[in-house]
Amino acid sequence: MKTLVLGGTGKTGRKVAEKLKSLNADVRIGSRSASPAFDWEDKSTWNGALEGTDQVYITFQPDLAAPGAPAEISAFTKAAVDAGVKKLVLLSGRGEEEAQHCEQIVMASGLDWTLVRASFFNQNFSESFLVDSIAAGYVMLPVGGIREPFIDTDDIADVAVAALTEAKHSRKIYEVTGPRLITFGEAVQEIARATDRKIVYQEVTADEYEAMLMKYHVPSDVISLLNYLFTEVMDGRNEYLSDGVEEALGRKPTDFSEFVQKTIETGVWDQPAYK
């Protein structure tokens, strides 16, 4: 079985590819820099990446909640069917109506499928848009006391790999979360304590957040997506735990504190202490 891993250099795709390779699986990385290349924005690259592929791990950039995502997923799913792909494993977003539309497209494709519906990633604090703010000691977000069950991307990757290598996960929806609910402010303070640094968390309005992002020249489509995620999806609808990791893997998910300790060892948060 040849597996195409879309976003194969990203937060989850990289780990899915590494774990599959450790099992001696036949893996093709789906990225702009790969050969053959894959680019969501260039449909002419899709057939080459899909050729000879049996199954696909789908991560959509920038997010399934982005405008046009359902149309892109629909077109890609058709291309996969035409290429003879047998199974799709889709990384989806928890509490996103647009993502659920994309899920329906995959489920209706006629192919085998597994859905991995994830909460907010732990690694957004260490590999993505929050890492610079944490390094600077000052995090501003338009979200206050809403609690989120942050999920580790290693857990997501383990569930995805299981779905790609074990038939028992066929046509299953795994809603994956971490084991506890914490606010963004609590998460930032947990990082501050573990790193022995002063890191301030400040709740701001959506307009203030947008103005800050514009100041740092963040692209307008990314600003729109982040505002949507923080002001719409982070409205309390996801303030509960799910057992998808345990259901799929037979073990508990990674706690945020475990992620923090593991990340400290990488040095990504190393900065002079602000006392």
Q: In the structure encoding, which two tokens stand for residue 195, read together?
A: 């790193």
Model confidence over 199-255: pLDDT tens digits?
A: 999 999 999 999 999 998 888 888 888 888 888 888 999 999 999 999 999 999 999
Distance of alpha carbon 118 from alpha carbon 175, whole angstroms = 6
Model confidence over 103-124: pLDDT tens digits?
A: 999 999 999 999 999 999 999 9
Question: Average of pLDDT values for 38-49?
Answer: 97
Distances (CA, A) of 31 to 7, 17, 23, 268: 6, 12, 21, 24
Q: pLDDT value at position 271? A: 65
pLDDT band at 35; cut points 50, 70, 90: very high
Q: pLDDT value at position 72? A: 97
Is the Cβ–Cβ distance between 126 and 262 less than 8 Å?
Answer: no
Going along the chain from its start, the domains and CATH numbers come out as 2-119+152-177+240-253 (3.40.50.720)
- In percent, the amount of the chain with pLDDT more than 70 equals 98
Q: pLDDT value at position 265? A: 93
Distance of alpha carbon 68 from alpha carbon 134, whole angstroms = 32
Question: Average of pLDDT values for 92-113?
Answer: 95
Q: In the structure encoding, which two tokens stand for residue 33, read together?
A: 């820099």
Q: In the structure encoding, which two tokens stand for residue 66, read together?
A: 């982005």
Distances (CA, A) of 151 to 29, 76, 116, 176, 181: 24, 27, 12, 7, 10
Distance of alpha carbon 156 from alpha carbon 73, whole angstroms = 20
Q: pLDDT value at position 273? A: 44
The residue with greater pLDDT, 270 or 108, is: 108
Mean pLDDT of the chain, nearest integer: 94
